[in-house]
Structure formats: structure tokens, C-alpha cells
Chain A
Amino acid sequence: MKGAVLGFGALVRDAVGYLGHLLMLLARTISYLGRAQVNRADSMTQLALSGVNSLPIVLITAVASGMVLSYHSIRSALAVGAESLIGGLVVVAAARELAPVLTAVVVAAKYGSAVTAEVATMTVTEQVDALVALGVSPIKYLVVPRFLALTVMLPTITLYAIGTAMLGGMAVSNWMGIRNIEYIRSAADFLKFSDITGGLLKSLCFAWIIALVSCSQGLLVKGGAAGVGRSTTLSVVIAITLIYVSDFILTVIIFR
């Protein structure tokens, strides 16, 4: 029992320490951004990698989620004659929750893991040490472009995901006998501008979580190839956990 308590205490201490490390990294990253010390060429590359390259899998996830949500909702709604609510339900759920969270999880798995693997490999092969020895901050050179890219691209592809989820839901509604015009009218009635801005605000926070966790895991890696593998897996696990935890907190704060 004592051992379990001590173990839990150590876990909490490590978690608090790591969160402190992430906050320090955030502060230093924002400080470089504030002084406009940004590597433009690498930022453009990262914009493409984080956004354009992630878009297909994000859209597939969004359309599938919209279709499934619509299918389940229609089955329940038909029983009580509330099919006129379907469009609103799917779009509001997509804007507030589904699109921001699923997009973030997909990008954490696809782009975040790639960032950790790349930075961790640079760390274990002394390339990060070489940057420092050349008088270049690894935060400025490695973290800032990735942070900036995700800050721009995650909310952008989340917008695409909201639209795609809506279309997926509409396709299933139509297939199950609800006219498109009814679906769109319901969506327009229920969806508020604040639903979209709230969802995008969540998406922005998730972008920062993915950028900071994936870069910090790469920079903190220990060991050789095995260490790179461990860090990459851990990066995805930590990022997704923090996305879910912060999602609940942000939902309570934004959509009170």
C-alpha cells in the first residue's frame, strides 16, 4: 500500500514537472515568435507537412464520423418524429466537439509522431548539439516553425473537417429519407457562430499541445534507436491524453 502511494506520488511529481517543462517551452517559443525570429523556409515546409499532408486522413475521419452520427441520430429521431433536428444535431456536434477533437487526434498521431521521430533522431545523432554549438537555439530552429505551422493549420483543417462531417451527415440523412433542404435548414437554425469559434479555439489549444509535446519528447529523448521509438510512442500517448483532458476543461469554459 505504501509502495503504491509512493509510486502515485512520484507519478504526480513527474507529471507536474513535465507540465512545467511544457509551459517553459511555450514561453520561450512565444518569446521567439514575439521577436519575429522565425525560419520562414522551414515554417513553409512544416505548414505543408502538418496541414496539406494531414488533410486526406482528417477528411476521411470527419466524413465517416458525420455519417455514423447522422445514422444513429436519425434512427432515434424517427422514433419520436424529431427528424427535423438532425441537421442541427450533426453540425453542432461536429463544430463543437467531433471535428476539433478527431482532427487533433489524427494530427497528433500522424504529424506529431513524425515530428518527435525527426527531432529525436537529430538529438541522438548530436545534430541538436551541433545546432547549439553553432550558436543556434534548437527552440528557435526546430520548435518555432512546427508550433507556428500547427497554430495556423490545425484550426484551418478543423474547418474543413466541420464542413465534411456536415456533408457526410447530409448524405446519410438523404439516404434515410430526409430531404437535403430540411437538413440544411435545421443546421442553419441550430448552428451559432460561437459554436464554430469555440471549436476553433479548442483546436488552437490542441495545436499547441501537439507542437509542444512532440517537440519536447524529441528533445528529451535518451538512448539510441530504441529511445527514438519510445519517445515517439510516448509523444502520441501524452498528446492524446492532454487533448482529451483539456477538451473537457475547454468545453466547460467555452460552452457554459
Chain B
Amino acid sequence: MKSASKRESFPPAGQSPGAQPASLSVGPAVRLTPSPEVAGVDGSTHPIILERVTYAIGRKTILKDISLAVGKGEIYVVMGLSGSGKTTLLRLMIGLAKPSRGRVWLFGNDTSALSEEELNRLRRRMGMVFQYSALFDSITVGRNVAFPLREHTHLSRAEIERVVAQKLSQVGLPGTENLLPTQLSGGMKKRVGVARALALDPEVMLYDEPTSGLDTLYGARINRLILELRQRLGVTSVVVTHDPEVARLMADCVGVIHEGTMLAEGTPQQVCSSEDGLVQQLMHCRPEGPLALDLLIEK
């Protein structure tokens, strides 16, 4: 185990919180708002910071030189096509993957300098909603939602049951405690996944396509829940989606990723009015544009 004195904080010791880390640079992205190195970031105001992160599997590079900082209480929406590296970005944020280059900072801690147990303590302050729910299929819905409470708290059984009922009601699934995940539809599973991620009242929530597979009504309900969590509890959220409407509705900041590269970052208005043709095409769902041209050329 690494000693606490060896652990670095962001910014490194001796550097004032507002100072700019020299290694944090823009990379190839088209920055539309002040980027972290311009604005000055530190762990107390930005729970998640990615510093020039590259992620590769073998020879295939999934993410290239990504830098971003998610501010406290902010809703950061990551937009992009399927296979652009959005989910990998979330996995890096919660430590499910380790960057090939660059650093990930969680709550001011450089994750590369943390032991697994120290990282687990930070993960308890976060919740993640998986694209395909990832519910534990051998236990009931109630036990799925209760799982983090049983593992990390000393609440009594009655208190756990009360929290489980409350979280399931929040996602529109009251009274489903005794059902097995196999008895649920895809959309219901996703909502149980949201309830489980919310069980410990995390400071940061990561959502991987939270509304895909949901009908319009429940999709809107989940979107409203994300907004309410920010308004009522100041929860920071990172939402991965391919739906520009979600970005326009809730984002404080939008990052557009294409082929592992951050194309643009800024407020929804700024990104939507970007002059980059590819960004325009992704944000306005236009079939015509540079991407279609690329595909035609490949054919």
C-alpha cells in the first residue's frame, strides 16, 4: 500500500489551487469554453479531471489525448456516435480502466497513485449506471438496490428496506423489491440500475446511455431525476449519450467525441453553433455532412 504522504493532490503540492498544471494542454480538441488549463482547476471544485488521457488496447487507440474537467454540481454530457469512446471515458473516470498515458484525478486524488482499497473508498462517493444495467441476476431487485448499503453501511435491515423502497419509488418502480432481474423488461432493469447507483447518495453519478431502451415517458423521468439530483443535492453528473436532445435539455457542458478525439467542448449553445461541420452534423443529427462523405469515400 502506498503511504498517504506519497499521494498527490491536484494541483501538486506547492502549487496554488488556481495555478495551471503545465502538462494539461488542449490537444487536438476545438475548445469553445475555457479549458481546464486556462480556467485553472483543482480537486475541490472539480471532482473529475482527465489530464491528457490516452487509452489503447493493444495497437488500437480508443481515446487520444483527452483532457477535461467536470465541475462540482455540473452536468457534463459526452456526445458521440457508437464506438467513439464514450463508454471507455466513463470507465476511466471510475477506475474500471487505467489510462495508457495521462492521469485521471478523482476528488483531487491521482488514481494512478492509489491502492485498490483507496480507489474503492472514492468509488463509494460515485454511482454508475451501466448501459445494459449490469444487475446481479441471481438476487432480487430489492437486494440489488440494497447491495451497496449492506456492503458499506451499518444501517439496520428496516432502514435498508426503507431506503430501497424510496430509491425504487424515485425511479418509478415501487413494490418491485421481490422480483428477479429476469422478470423485468430492459427499461425496468435500467431504472433498477439507476436506483442501485443512487443507493449511497453519491456525490458524482456516471450514466452510460441512461435513456436508451426506455420509453419516452420514463426516459423523460430519468432526465428529470438527473436534473433534480443536481438541483436538490448538488450531485455532479456525467451523462454519456448519442441523443443531442438530452445534451440540449440538461447539459451545463457538452463534450463531443469522435473516434477517440474530443472534437468540441462547451455549453450546448456554443457547441450547437460550432462551425465544425462534424460537430454540427452530430449535434443536429444531419444525415448530410463530413461523416456521410467519409462513409461514401470508404465505400
Contact = CB atoms under 8 A, between A and B. Distances in A.
- Residue among A125, A130, A133, A136 with the highest chain B CB neighbour number at 10 A: A133
User: Contact size class for B?
Assistant: 20 to 34
Q: How large is the interface on A (under 10, 10 to 19, 20 to 34, 35 or more residues)?
A: 10 to 19
A134 B129 CA distance: 10
Interface in A60-90: none
A129 B96 contact: yes
B49 interface: no
A10 B152 CA distance: 43
B132 A133 contact: no
A129 B135 CA distance: 10
B123 A135 contact: yes
Interface in A82-134: 122, 125-127, 129-130, 132-134
A134 B151 contact: yes
A251 interface: no
A127 B137 contact: yes
A129 B121 contact: no
Contacts of B137: 125, 127
B124 A135 contact: yes
A125 B130 CA distance: 10
Nearest to A134: B148
Contacts of A122: 136
B136 A130 contact: yes
Contacts of B179: none
Given A125-B137, A126-B134, A132 B148 contact: no
A241 interface: no
B116 A129 contact: no
A3 B96 CA distance: 37
* Secondary structure call for the B interface: mixed
Most buried by B among A122, A130, A132: A130
A174 interface: no
A132 B123 contact: yes
Contacts of A133: 94, 96, 123, 126-128, 130
A133 to B, nearest CB: 4
A137 B134 CA distance: 16
A227 to B, nearest CB: 16
Interface string A133-163: 1111100000000000000000000000000
A136 B123 CA distance: 9
Contacts of B116: 137
Given A134-B148, A135-B151, A136-B151, A129 B134 contact: yes
B56 to A, nearest CB: 17
B218 interface: no
A230 to B, nearest CB: 19
Contact of A125 (B117, B126, B134, B148): B134
Contact of A126 (B95, B117, B130): B130
A135 B134 contact: no
Interface in B106-133: 116-117, 120-121, 123-124, 126-128, 130, 132
Given A125-B132, A134-B196, 4 more contacts: A122-B136, A126-B134, A133-B127, A134-B123
10 contacts: A125-B132, A125-B134, A125-B137, A129-B91, A130-B130, A133-B123, A133-B128, A134-B123, A134-B147, A136-B148
